[in-house]
Amino acid sequence: MEPKRNLDTLMSRYQAGDSAAVTALVEAVGPRLHRFFMAQSASRSDADDLLQETWLRIHRVRHTYRPGEPVLPWLYAIARRVRIDQYRRASRTTARERPLEEASELSAALPRQETHADDLETLLAPLSDGQREIIRMLKVAGMSLEEVAGATSCSVGSVKQKVHRAYRKLRDTMNAMGPQKGSSRGLP
């Protein structure tokens, strides 16, 4: 995982107009953001679109990053915004174009490789959306509690509480399944 300070420096250089820093930053952070989107979007192509949209937004508002501050909360806050906007747009379109039952049938009919049923998401399935998002930021993106609080516009206390509840739920589910099964295949 890229050291966080290095990412902060790359972002400052990006603001200064350094094209090498842009390439390095996109390569370092792009896969994490893509994984963040894969976790909740219907398909890889949706995640690709969201990633491109996020970088466009990042580029437009890059002046709002404050040099010296951690860049990950800043990036994830924008990524969350893009995902919410996309979700609202999709909801409006779906509501106008076809009934909900039909949409569910369509998504169920998607080929298996197009869905995002990877191991981590299977593990996190019993959690609420908010808990899943926070666990992903902490465990996949490697962010601190303070950084997650910044990215989600929550207090550190609220993040801690969500993590505590998520772990309790994960422990209970894993215990119910048995440790061997939980650690080798993920939860059903």
Partner 1 sequence: MTDDQVDKVLEKASGATPEVDPALLKRIADSINMSLRPVRPLPPPWALTGGLALICAVVAVAAAARAGFYGVEKLSLWERALIFSTLGILVWVTGKELVGQLTPGSRQNFSGTSLLATISASLLGVFALVFHDYRTDHFISAGIACLLTGVLLAVPAAFLSWLLLRRGFAVNSVAAGLVGGALAGLCGVTMLELHCSNFQALHVLVWHIAVVPVSAAAGAFAASTLRRP
Q: Which is nearer to partner 1, 26 or 42 (CB)?
A: 26
**In Å, how far from its chain's centre is CA 152?**
11
Token duo for residue 183: 């650690």
CB of 118 to partner 1, least distance (A): 5
Examine residue 120 and tell whether it contacts partner 1 (CB under 8 A): yes
- Binding test (CB under 8 A) with partner 1, winner from 5, 6, 64, 105: 64
Q: How far apart are CA 103 and CA 38, in angstroms?
A: 19
Say whether 111 sits in a helix, a strand or coil: coil
**Contact status: 17 vs partner 1 (CB under 8 A):** yes
The residue whose two tokens read 């295949």 is 185
182 binds partner 1 (CB under 8 A): yes
- Residue indicated by tokens 């009934």: 99
Pick from 131, 140, 134, 188: nearest CA to 165: 131
Min CB(101)–partner 1 separation in Å: 27
Residue that has been written with the tokens 């090498």 in this structure: 20
Q: How far apart are the first and last CA of the chain?
A: 29
Tokens of 51: 């990633």
CB of 124 to partner 1, least distance (A): 8
Scanning 2-10, 77-85, 99-107, 126-134 for contacts with partner 1 by CB under 8 A, the matching segment is 77-85
Q: Is 154 near partner 1 (CB under 8 A)?
A: yes
Say whether residue 9 binds partner 1 (CB under 8 A).
no
Give the count of residues interacting with partner 1 (CB under 8 A): 66
Alpha carbon distance 87, 41 (integer Å): 9
Instruction: Centre a 10 Å sphere on the Cβ of residue 136 and count the other Cβ atoms it contains.
Output: 22
Where do contacts with partner 1 occur on this chain (CB under 8 A)?
Answer: 15-17, 19, 22-23, 26-27, 30-31, 34-35, 38, 44, 48, 51-52, 55, 59, 61-67, 69-70, 72-78, 80-81, 85, 88-89, 118-120, 122-123, 135, 139-140, 146-147, 149-151, 153-156, 167, 170-171, 174-175, 179, 182-183, 186
